[in-house]
Chain A
Amino acid sequence: MSTSDTRSDSGAASRARRNWGPLALALPALLLLVGVIGYPLFTVVLRSLSQPEWGLQNYIWFFGTPVNLVVLQRTFTISAWVTLVCVVAAYPYAYAMTAVGPKARLLLTLCVLIPFWVSGVVRTLAWVILLQDSGVINSTLRALDLGRLRLIRTQTGVVIGMAQVLLPFMILPLYSVMKGIDLRLVQASRSLGASPLRAFFTVYLPLSLPGVYAGAIIVFILALGFYITPALLGGPRSTMLSTLVQNQVLSLLQWGRGGAMGVVLLLATFILLALAGPLMRQKHKQGARS
């Protein structure tokens, strides 16, 4: 009944319906985001300003406590290293995925996805077994009389473990961009006399950069909030901000301070992305032009 009514409506109404249609499709996800992310985030901000009383005390405390600043900076440094390691490791891998035949590609895809389906805790514990002083790597080194590498309870160990956990988030966006690159462009540059290196750096690399940026942003942001991997693979000197938040909220019941730490991390991330954004767009345009 009602459908036939709307069908007989004027053209303007149906145009309006067309405009709102896509938004309606996004509605379930939007509602979910508002309910599951938006509202809790709002309460976090509210608590950071209102507990134990209204004011900026939690932020004053945050910036007045040296350990917070050291750990905040460290959180960004570790995340940057993780992103770098992921880019370096993922780039050739994703390229290989585009270059090989379908069977080998399936194998490479599975190699990325299978660890992705295993819980992060399990993978991290596997790294403990590999990295610890009496672990696989160091026993091998000792057997070869090569001394020992300090891996577990160091930032190096944390970066290795986190990069492995986050690698799929780098490989998959890279692959989806790379497989869309028209390789005839590379061939064309070669036929015009470019060396393989030049062809790569002036043609292929710029075209693949959107994938690098997309992957890097996802990896970097996910890395900022890591908790379990630094806790298990790291020592005091690789403690990240999430651990301090946990201590404030769960041990000291200082929800306000925990909230302030979260807000500071969020704002710092926004600022960093805002600074990096124009840079990326510019490079991207240059890439598209060349």
Chain B
Amino acid sequence: MKTHLTLAAAGVALVLGALPAMAQEKPVAGEVKEGSLKGKTLTFVSYGGIYQDGQIAALKEFVDKSGVKLLSDGPTETAKIQAQVESGNVSWDVVDTSDFPPYVYCGKLFQKLDMSKIDTSKIPAGQVGECSVPAMNYGVVLMYNNETYKDNPPKSWADFFDTEKFPGTRAIEGSGDVSGGLLEQAFRLNGGDPKAMKPEDIDGAIQKVRDIGSDTIFWKTGAESQQLAESGEADMIMMWTGRAMAAVKNGAKYTPVWQDWLVVMDQLTIPVGVKDTDAAYALINAYLGKSAQEILTEKTSYTPINNEAQPKVEPAVAAFLTNTPERQKQGYQQNIKFWVDNYEAVNEKWSAVLAGN
């Protein structure tokens, strides 16, 4: 008995002694172990263009230090992830997705993340999902044409929907993905509380969008929205901040309304069935680091998702970053859970709007 007890005690002591060592193992965002992934290959998937170039630049230190071979692929398509997961041959290790898919397909296509393997402490509040961490932040703002509204510009999304007080054409995102944020703003017009929105409220909110009238322009790509601003085609445009900034930089005479700008983000995910999960975690953890996020913002002008990041950007870019204290106060976060729970029903109704029926 005694020997057993002493053995047990020794065991407990061993475990206790090991604890501080394990605590030291706790990952720190941006830290990469020298040579830890030598001989391994990771495929990072995103949406291409300067965005993905910036992400790869942000991961350069990770590649150099860990010795991993980093491949770049894309564009992200949930259907392609599904095909890979179902065929059991997953070649995408870390995937940058839009807002909703990691919530809709959490556990099915995307792995539930083990948060002890990544340092999420510097990520802005409320942005870590069960299957995702943010890849960057941006916003959806209301941009109005200075020449149309002169001294009486719109001040809120309510004004966006008010075609009597603010006549003029509106442009709305029509890429196909439902903007829950826009529908929540529509729902608020009649005094509804988006936090308490119910499935039966969706029709009413969509009707508000329809009520804007047949003049409404639905842009399909970010580039199209930018083109609408630069050519002055629409009087008010619902726009992604990156595109808004680019349009203003190119001389579009539009001003953003920041009140209730919609917080949007891309997500980083690990598909179910990747060959080396730990290597994927290491990539994400490096991506979340301060210096990586600074590089990302400097290359892409998207807002970093590490609270300590201090990117050096020109004033035109800084004007559209969404992480300043002032912007954080004005920002509006959509009720992700509600839109995910009702994903299919909303999508069906919204695609009918987009198909002109």
Assess whether B78 is in contact with A239, with CB atoms less than 8 Å apart: no
Asked whether, in the complex, the Cβ of B354 is within 8 Å of the Cβ of A250, the reply is: no
Is the beta-carbon distance between B176 and A251 smaller than 8 angstroms? yes
CB of A132 within 8 A of CB of B357, answer no
Cβ of B249 within 8 Å of any chain A Cβ, yes or no, is no
- From B117-125, B217-225, B273-281, B310-318, the one touching the partner chain is B217-225
Partner of A134, one of B214, B217, B232: B232
Bound together, the chains give a CA A268 to CA B227 distance in angstroms of: 37
Of A66-74, A98-106, A278-286, the one touching chain B: A66-74
Q: A70 to B355, Cβ gap below 8 A?
A: yes
The reply to whether the CB of A193 lies closer than 8 angstroms to some CB of chain B is: no
Complex alpha-carbon distance, A246 and B347, angstroms: 13
| Among candidates A70, A133, A252, A255, residue contacting B347 with C-beta atoms closer than 8 Å | A252
Separation in Å of the B97 CB from the closest CB of chain A? 12
- B220 — which chain A residues lie within 8 A by C-beta? 231-232
Distance from A76 Cβ to chain B, minimum over Cβ atoms (Å): 15
Given A66-B357, A133-B233, A253-B78: A247 and B347 within 8 A (CB)?
A: yes
Contacts of A249 in B (CB 8 A): 79
Bits for A93-130, please: 1 = Cβ < 8 Å to B, else 0.
00000000000000000000000000000000000100
A77 CA to B290 CA, complexed, in Å: 56
Neighbouring A residues of B176 by C-beta, 8 Å: 246-247, 250-251
Bound together, the chains give a CA A232 to CA B218 distance in angstroms of 10
Residues from 50 to 89 in B contacting A, C-beta threshold 8 Å: 77-79, 82
Is A70 a contact of B232 with CB atoms below 8 Å?
A: no
Could you say which residues of chain B place their CB within 8 Å of the CB of A128?
Answer: 227
User: Quick check: A253 and B82 within 8 Å, CB to CB?
Assistant: yes
Complex CA gap A235/B177 in Å reads 16
**Chain A residues, CB < 8 A from B214:** 237
- Nearest CB on B from A253, distance (A): 5
Nearest CB of B to A60, in Å: 15
Do A243 and B355 touch across chains, with their CB atoms under 8 A apart?
A: yes
Q: Please name all residues of chain B whose beta carbon is closer than 8 Å to the beta carbon of A70 when the two chains form the complex.
A: 355-357
Q: A134-B233, A235-B217 given as contacts; is B82 within 8 A of A71 (CB)?
A: no
Which residues 298-357 of B sit at the A interface, judged by CB distance below 8 A? 344, 347-348, 351-357
The docked-state distance in angstroms from the alpha carbon of A138 to that of B214 is 20
Q: Is B207 an interface residue (CB 8 A)?
A: no
* Contact between chains at B233 and A239 (CB < 8 Å): no
Chain B 160-199 interface 0/1 with A at a Cβ cutoff of 8 Å (1 = within): 0000000000000010110000000000000000000000
Say yes or no for B231: interface residue by CB 8 A criterion: yes
Max chain B Cβ within 10 angstroms of own Cβ: one of A134, A246, A252: A252
Q: Which residue of chain A has the shortest Cβ distance to B78 in the bound complex?
A: A253
B255 CB, min distance to chain A CBs, angstroms: 19
Interface residue A22 (Cβ < 8 Å from any Cβ of B): no
Q: Which residues of A contact B174 (CB under 8 A)?
A: 236
Q: Which residues of B contact A252 (CB under 8 A)?
A: 344, 347
Is B355 in contact with A251, judged by CB distance below 8 angstroms?
Answer: no
Closest chain A residue to B343, Cβ basis: A252
Query: A238 in the interface, Cβ–Cβ < 8 Å?
Result: yes
Look across to chain A and name the residue whose beta carbon is closest to the beta carbon of B108. A253
Contacts of B353 in A (CB 8 A): 236
Q: Is A250 a contact of B218 with CB atoms below 8 Å? A: no
CB closest chain-B residue, reference A241? B355
Against A, the Cβ 8 Å flags (1 = close, 0 = not) of B203-237 are 00000000000100110100010010001110000
Q: List 19 A-B contacts (CB under 8 A).
A: A66-B352, A67-B351, A67-B357, A128-B227, A132-B231, A134-B231, A236-B174, A236-B218, A237-B356, A238-B356, A243-B354, A244-B355, A247-B347, A249-B79, A250-B78, A251-B176, A253-B78, A253-B79, A255-B79
Give the interface of B toward A (CB within 8 A).
Answer: 77-79, 82, 105, 174, 176-177, 214, 217-218, 220, 224, 227, 231-233, 344, 347-348, 351-357
Instruction: A236-B218, A249-B79 are known; give 9 further A-B pairs, CB within 8 A.
Output: A65-B348, A71-B355, A132-B231, A232-B220, A243-B355, A247-B351, A247-B354, A253-B78, A255-B79
Which A residues are closer than 8 A to B by beta carbons?
65-67, 70-71, 128, 132-135, 153, 231-232, 235-239, 243-244, 246-247, 249-253, 255
